[in-house]
């Protein structure tokens, strides 16, 4: 069956995230906005502020204050009228809900230009992730060092995932190799896959798939551009 | 002011897309799913089918049949009970609404590993886009040939956009250069920007921004992985 490419609806009460209000499901759309709030809180903290109003935080995250307050109310975080939110406390709460309060290991399958870009992107550590391993099927690439890691062959993937405790895999292969890469990641035990390949991946129901499809993003922009034309 | 990083709500009736039912606003979430339906229709057509049921199309697009039927009803496309949708007609209708019935030109600013990956990605043409130009500020990169195009300097951007009629720009620069790249794209006349830089871009209200933030996608996966743990 096809994996869920888009969070389809409210997360059921039985699947409730740690740190959320009992009995209150956490909508998938809210989950999708939490990383933005966490990123905005990091920026606020970097500017030296200990408190932040919903207006300022909403602006930094690119949402309306009403949307922000509603989303945070699902976490039981309401802020104080006229004072705002405690930056450290709120950031810790969101990180706990997202499961990134501790660092998570990520493995990347496919070390072409895109895999290179991911491996040399410096921003993972500050967002709660460690790039733990790189895998590619090309004998000319295996054994080379990229972003401080030695590229390993597909046969080493399961050992790599077990050694590093990786729970998330990134598919950065060409489209024709994406399903094989996803199958190998699932077999090795990861439960989350981020794919850049422009095709739907088949995964078991317990595995979550997020797809970044550049052409789809461009088509959404085209819709807005055609309204301007 | 900060550009809209996420479609914020229903598109007002005054901003109605071409081809949509009069008086019926097209929700932003529906717009965001249309590229997936179009891509799924292409796959169905590639398999030789002239008609497709909502169940089959929904499965190929990774949504529920009810979601698909509701989204398509906004376009005035209802299908026929027991028969389904006419593949060619529906694909043409979605392409018209998205504004990709004719090919759109795209320029990419930043030709590092990510820009390379975009320039050599073969899937744009079949999704309605032509990669029309590449721009980079690095003298060592300017003048080199990538994916069949010669990389041009930032000073050439406006002429490039005018020459190609590009309406969409992609920001594939390092984070520190992203705002400058966006400013240059806006000044040159593009109305849509796709950014991969992990920071909010400030753009005028008439410019639409879509942001692909890899770390945010990983955090959403971490949320689901932590529920499995």
Q: pLDDT tens-digit profile of A39-66?
A: 899 888 888 889 999 999 998 888 999 9
Contact A192 B8 (CB under 8 A): no
pLDDT band at A153 (very low <50, low <70, confident <90, very high): very high
Q: Do A210 and B225 count as a contact with CB atoms less than 8 A apart?
A: no
Q: Averaged over A180-198, what is the pLDDT?
A: 94
Q: Determine the Cα–Cα distance for residues B13 and B25; give it in Å rounded to an integer.
A: 5
Identify the pLDDT of residue A210. 92
Residue A22 in this model has a pLDDT that exceeds 50 = no
* pLDDT of A228: 67
pLDDT at B228: 67
**Residue range A24-45: average pLDDT?**
87
Q: Mean pLDDT across the stretch B139-157? A: 95
Residue in B217, B36, B114, B131 with CA at minimum distance from that of residue A199: B36
Domain B13-98 belongs in CATH node 3.40.50.300:
no
Predicted confidence (pLDDT) at residue A31 exceeds the cutoff of 60: yes
The C-alpha angle A193, A123, A198, rounded to 5 degrees, equals 35
Q: Judge: B35–A214 Cβ closer than 8 Å, yes or no.
A: no
Start-end of H helices in B2-150: 28-46, 54-61, 65-74, 87-98, 113-119
pLDDT tens-digit readout, B22-31 = 445 788 889 9
Q: Does B1 have pLDDT greater than 70? A: no
User: Would an 8 Å CB–CB cutoff place A102 in contact with chain B?
Assistant: no
Give the residue-averaged pLDDT of A161-187: 95
Supply the CATH classification number for the domain B104-216.
Answer: 3.40.50.720
- What's the mean pLDDT in A95-112? 90
Quick one: pLDDT at residue B10?
Answer: 39
Of A1-10, A127-136, B45-54, minimum mean pLDDT range: A1-10
Least CB–CB distance from B2: residue in A5, A62, A217: A62
Domain map of chain B by residue range?
13-98, 104-216
Could B214 and A15 be called an inter-chain contact, meaning their C-beta atoms sit closer than 8 Å?
A: no
User: Are A117 and B112 a contacting pair at CB < 8 A?
Assistant: yes
Residue A4 has pLDDT above 60, yes or no: no
- pLDDT of residue A220 exceeding 60, the answer is yes
Question: Residue A152's pLDDT is what?
Answer: 97
Position A81 scores a pLDDT of 82
Instruction: With a cut of 60, say whether residue B165 has pLDDT above it.
Output: yes
**Could you give the percent of chain B with pLDDT greater than 90?**
55
Secondary structure (DSSP) of chain A: -B--SS--SBPPGGGPPTTSPTT---BHHHHHHHHHHHHHHHHHHHTT-SEE-HHHHHHHHTS-HHHHHHHHHTTT---BTTTBEEHHHHHHHHHHHHT-SS-EEEEEE--SHHHHHHHT-TTSGGGTEEEEEEE-S-TTTTT-EETTEE-B-GGGHHHHHHHHT--EEEE-S-HHHHHHHHHHHHHHT--EEEE-SSSPPB--TTSEEEE--HHHHHHHHHHHHHHH-
Mean pLDDT of A67-92: 89
Distance to chain A for B180, nearest Cα, Å: 18
What DSSP string describes B27-66?
Answer: -HHHHHHHHHHHHHHHHHHHTT-SEE-HHHHHHHHTS-HH
Binding-site positions of B for NAD(+): 110-115
ipTM surpasses cut 0.85: no
Quick one: pLDDT band at residue A200, thresholds 50, 70, 90?
confident
Q: Do A118 and B214 touch (CB under 8 A)?
A: yes
Q: What is the mean pLDDT of residues B174-188?
A: 95
Band (pLDDT 50/70/90 cuts) for residue A229 is low
- Determine if residue A84 is labeled as part of a ligand binding site: no
- Residues of chain A positioned with their CB less than 8 A from the CB of B32: 220
Partner A contacted by B21 (CB < 8 A):
no
Q: Which pLDDT tens digit goes with each residue over B60-82?
A: 888 999 999 999 999 988 888 88
User: Do A99 and B225 count as a contact with CB atoms less than 8 A apart?
Assistant: yes
- Residue-level pLDDT at B24: 58
Q: Which residues of B touch A214 (CB under 8 A)?
A: 118, 121, 194, 212
Kindly list the residues from chain A whose CB atom is less than 8 angstroms away from the CB atom of residue B67: 8
Per-residue pLDDT, B47 = 84
Closest CA to B191 of A51, A221, A171, A7: A221
Mean pLDDT taken over chain B: 85
- Tell me if A113 is assigned to a ligand binding site: yes
> What letter does residue B22 receive in the DSSP assignment?
T
Residues of B in contact with A105 (CB under 8 A): none
Which chain B residues are Cβ-neighbours of A35 within 8 angstroms? 213, 215-217, 219-220
The predicted structure's pLDDT at residue A141: 96
Whether residue A195 has pLDDT greater than 90: yes
Return the higher-pLDDT residue of B51 and A46: B51
- Spatial distance between the Cα atoms of A85 and A52, rounded to a whole number of angstroms: 5
User: In the predicted model, is pLDDT for residue B7 greater than 50?
Assistant: no
Task: Pick left, alpha or beta for residue B127 (phi over 0 → left; psi -120 to 50 → alpha; otherwise beta).
Answer: alpha
Cβ separation A62–B218 shorter than 8 A: no
Q: What is the average pLDDT across A110-128?
A: 87
Q: Residue A2: pLDDT above 50?
A: no
Average pLDDT over residues A63-83: 89
Q: How far apart are CA B134 and CA A145, in angstroms?
A: 28
Higher-confidence residue of A10 and B196: namely: B196
């Amino acid at each position: 069956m096809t994996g869920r490419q888009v969070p389809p609806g409210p997360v059921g009460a039985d699947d409730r995230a740690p740190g959320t209000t009992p009995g209150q499901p956490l909508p998938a759309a809210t989950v999708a906005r939490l990383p933005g709030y966490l990123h905005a809180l990091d920026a606020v903290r970097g500017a030296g502020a200990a408190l932040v109003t919903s207006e300022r935080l909403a602006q930094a995250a690119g949402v309306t204050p009403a949307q922000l307050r509603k989303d945070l109310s699902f976490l039981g975080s309401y802020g104080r009228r006229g004072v705002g939110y405690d930056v450290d406390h709120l950031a810790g709460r969101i990180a706990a809900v997202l499961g990134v309060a501790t660092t998570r290991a990520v493995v990347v399958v496919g070390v072409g230009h895109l895999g290179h870009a991911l491996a040399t992107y410096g921003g993972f550590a500050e967002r709660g992730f460690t790039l733990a391993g790189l895998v590619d099927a090309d004998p000319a690439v295996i054994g080379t060092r990229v972003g401080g890691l030695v590229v390993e062959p597909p046969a080493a993937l399961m050992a790599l995932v077990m050694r590093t405790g990786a729970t998330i895999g990134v598919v950065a292969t060409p489209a024709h190799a994406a399903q094989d890469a996803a199958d190998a990641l699932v077999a090795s035990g990861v439960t989350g896959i981020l794919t850049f390949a422009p095709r739907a991946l088949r995964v078991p129901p317990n595995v979550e798939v997020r797809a970044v499809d550049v052409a789809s993003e461009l088509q959404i922009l085209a819709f807005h551009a055609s309204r301007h034309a």
